[in-house]
Structures are given as C-alpha cells and as structure tokens.
Amino acid sequence: MRYTDPDLNYCPQCDEEYREDFYTCAACNISLIPGTEKLAMEEAAKNKLAARSMDISPDDELVNIRKGALGEMKQLQAVLGAANIPSLLAGDASSCGKGCCGTDMYLQIKISDGKDATEILAKEFEKTTALSSHDLSNAHAVFDTGVAKSNCPACGCSFSTSSSTCPDCGLCF
C-alpha cells in the first residue's frame, strides 16, 4: 500500500492522487475525496481486517464460491487468507477429498464473508489477467456474418465479415 498524503485528493475508484486544488478525477470523471477521508477509510478497513476471525466453527454457514483444480483453489485460498478471510477446500461426493482423484475442489467461505471475498477475488482476477490495463469497451461487440462490416470484440478493429480473422489482432471467428 502506498503512502496517503492527507493534504492531497484521491479518486475513490482508481486511487489516483491529485493536488488539493483538483476536485474531479480526469480518468473516472468522479468527485475526488480528501486525503484525510481516504486515511479514515484505510484505517476502518484495517480495523475490520484485524477484527475478523480466521476460525471456522461447525456452526458457521458455508457457501461454495469457486470450483476448480486443487492447485488453483489453494492459490485462491492463500489470497483470501492474506485478507483474513478464512476458507476451506472440500471435494464433492465422488472425491477422496485429497485432490488426487482428478476431481475438482470447492473453495468454501462463511456466508458473512461473501461480499468481501468476491471483491478480493475479482481484484485478484484483474491483476492476474491484466484486464485492468486493457480497454474492454469493445467486449460487447459480436461478429455477425449477416452484415458487411463488424467490429472485433478484442481490439475494436472494423473489418469486412468476409474474413474470419481480425486483420489487426488475429482473433479468429
């Protein structure tokens, strides 16, 4: 975590730092918050994190949040553990529970930690896939052979639908 200067302003969305005479984020076009408010938010988050118990009792109601290979689930479990969110790995009924049978494992958390866990895992996904640094404005585009020109959902290039490959990025359709 980087140092937060109480005399500066910050974007609550992208966390960019601005001089005190700036009031709107240039990238997100939203109102900035003062450094003192950001420090208070960071302190509240730190206190919430410290107060969270890493114990899971038999009375806790658990929910499956991910399913996948043992190695991947252990990696996500470590990410959650770093944020003080306790989790368990469990196999399905056909699994031996050790991950050696080739079946998928379930990553389970307390229902009460659901919102925080999904936010943390979403940030981890963005970080590991580098999606936060890519322009996703064309992701909604659909390659339609019924029209003369289409936009590539990966890069936004406009090209003739007579080609089944984007001439800019090489995505095949």
The whole-angstrom separation of Cα 173 and Cα 65 is 32
Is the per-residue pLDDT at 115 higher than 80?
Answer: yes
Top pLDDT among 73 and 52 is at: 73
CA 14 to chain centre: 13
Is the per-residue pLDDT at 73 higher than 60?
Answer: yes
Mean pLDDT of 27-43: 93
CA 38 to chain centre: 21
Top pLDDT among 136 and 70 is at: 70
Instruction: Assign 19 a pLDDT band (cuts: 50, 70, 90).
Output: very high
- Please name the amino acid found at residue 18: Y
Mean pLDDT of 6-31: 93
Mean pLDDT of 103-123: 90
User: What pLDDT is recorded for position 162?
Assistant: 87
End-to-end CA distance of the chain: 42
- The mean pLDDT of the chain is 86
List the domain boundaries for the chain: 9-51, 62-133, 135-173
Least confident of 1-5, 79-83, 136-140, 151-155: 136-140
Mean pLDDT of 36-65: 88
Q: Most distant CA pair in the chain: distance in Å?
A: 62
Is the per-residue pLDDT at 63 higher than 70?
Answer: yes
The whole-angstrom separation of Cα 96 and Cα 30 is 51
The fold of 62-133 is Alpha-Beta Plaits (3.30.70)
Q: Cβ(120)–Cβ(136) under 8 Å?
A: no
Is the per-residue pLDDT at 108 higher than 60?
Answer: yes
Instruction: Assign 1 a pLDDT band (cuts: 50, 70, 90).
Output: low
